[in-house]
Amino acid sequence: MLLGCIGDDFTGSSDLANTLTKVGMRTVQYVGVPDSPVDGVVEAGVVALKSRSIPVAEAVAQSLAALDWLRAQGCRQFLFKYCSTFDSTPEGNIGPVAEALAEALGARQVIVCPAFPGAGRTVYQGHLFVNDCLLNESGMQHHPLTPMTDPDIRRWLGLQVRGSVGHVGAQVVRQGPEAIRAALAAQAHRLIVADAISDADLVALGHAAAELPLITGGSGIAMGLPDNFRARGELAGRAGVWCGLAGPAVVLSGSCSVATRGQVARHAACHPAREISAAEVIAGRVAPGDLADWALAQDGIPMIYSSADPAQVAQDQARFGAVAVAGAIEALFAELAQALVARGVTRLISAGGETSGAVVEGLGLRQLEIGPEITPGVPVMRAGHDLVLALKSGNFGGPDFFVAAAQMMEHSA
């Protein structure tokens, strides 16, 4: 294994694995830290954690455990992947994990770049944009767990870390890898936010990072990394042919993002949909088995969702507590995923990082094969002979994503 990656949620990890697969690395995504050595030829390993919203100390401990395993597999470079909207609180977890990994690796300069232009995320003058809006005006300011109220990544990261935060601006990045390397080396800071407004910027940053032990960012920061290994003759080529899978498809949506709520409304207009509220979940008025039976009795692509608007989310959190609401809904989705697969569902589509994490953990999955891309950042993944998944971050995908995902899951390369 050449490149070792640590993702702070499951959808983001599949996004990264998708990026690496597209640019020519044999990539495997692992669910949690494996308890045995890698099996077979793997050039990039992605350890998917569910550490984005847990206590800081736990996130650091899990990330360091993932680093230890990846180092044991022979990795020479490491990437810490987080969301392209930098989902975190002023306490963490991005900054503390990045600092801990840097210290463990003795990394002096560490790029911080959540940009993903293909999904509308760009960084300019240290500020994160979502399409034409600053991050804090994009809807992310209403995120129920990690509300992003400041678009200045330097300032937000500075609240989370012990050290200071540097910056490499777009005017330097546009000059290419040599200029980037010189700018990084001149920094007195360990964590350095890098601007990127195009894929070419991300590739240049990746090329500039050829000798850096640690890079952090969204999946886009990985675009140029395979070239470094390829230039040294270390890549064997692409993985095998992908085969699609037919059978019943069901959508599970827990994301409350603007994009997902639009996708949910669009899908519900044409397909069976069952909304579940925080109140009924906490009161125990919905049973996973009953929901699964309902889904299998429907035509089309049924959807079960808890996605709600910010006002309703705030009301539920005030009434029951944010942790209780999130925990109850995630537990329900975990059990529901089990019930659906037990009843013969072969295509499972999940919207939202926390929801997808609950689904993957509920199904007890340990390794995922990366398949074709549905939309930028979201691949189809094989979880077994009779099950394929699509795990979507909240803000990804177009209006008809759920139908597009179901169709792509049947497609063979």
Give the pLDDT of residue 40.
78
Percentage of residues in the chain having pLDDT higher than 90:
88
pLDDT at 240 over 70: no
pLDDT at 23 over 80: yes
Read off the DSSP letter of residue 232: T
pLDDT at 239 over 60: no
Task: Please compute the mean of the pLDDT values over residues 21-37 and round it to a whole number.
Answer: 92
Percentage of residues in the chain having pLDDT higher than 70:
99
Question: How many Cβ atoms from other residues are within 10 Å of residue 65's Cβ?
Answer: 15
Give the pLDDT of residue 41.
86
pLDDT band at 307 (very low <50, low <70, confident <90, very high): very high
Task: Please compute the mean of the pLDDT values over residues 388-411 and round it to a whole number.
Answer: 94
Write the pLDDT tens digit of every residue in 65-120. Answer: 999 999 999 999 999 999 999 999 999 999 999 999 999 999 999 999 999 998 89
pLDDT band at 333 (very low <50, low <70, confident <90, very high): very high
pLDDT at 275 over 80: yes
pLDDT at 237 over 80: no
Domains of the chain, first to last: 3-231 (3.40.50.10840), 249-409 (3.40.980.20)
Give the pLDDT of residue 238.
60
Q: How far is CA 296 from CA 224, 267, 287, 343, in A?
A: 43, 17, 15, 8
Q: How far is CA 318 from CA 280, 330, 349, in A?
A: 16, 18, 30
pLDDT band at 314 (very low <50, low <70, confident <90, very high): very high
Burial of 279 (0-12, 13-18, 19+ CB in 10 A): middle
Q: How far is CA 408 from CA 320, 324, 377, in A?
A: 39, 35, 14
What is the average pLDDT value for the chain, to the nearest integer?
95
Write the pLDDT tens digit of every residue in 124-142. Answer: 999 999 999 999 999 999 9
- Neighbouring-strand partners of residue 304: 252, 274
Q: Where are the alpha helices (DSSP H) in 73-176?
A: 94-105, 153-160, 170-173
**Calpha distance 69→96 (Å, rounded):** 20
Question: How much is the pTM?
Answer: 0.83
Write the pLDDT tens digit of every residue in 167-207. Answer: 999 999 999 999 999 999 999 999 999 999 999 999 999 99
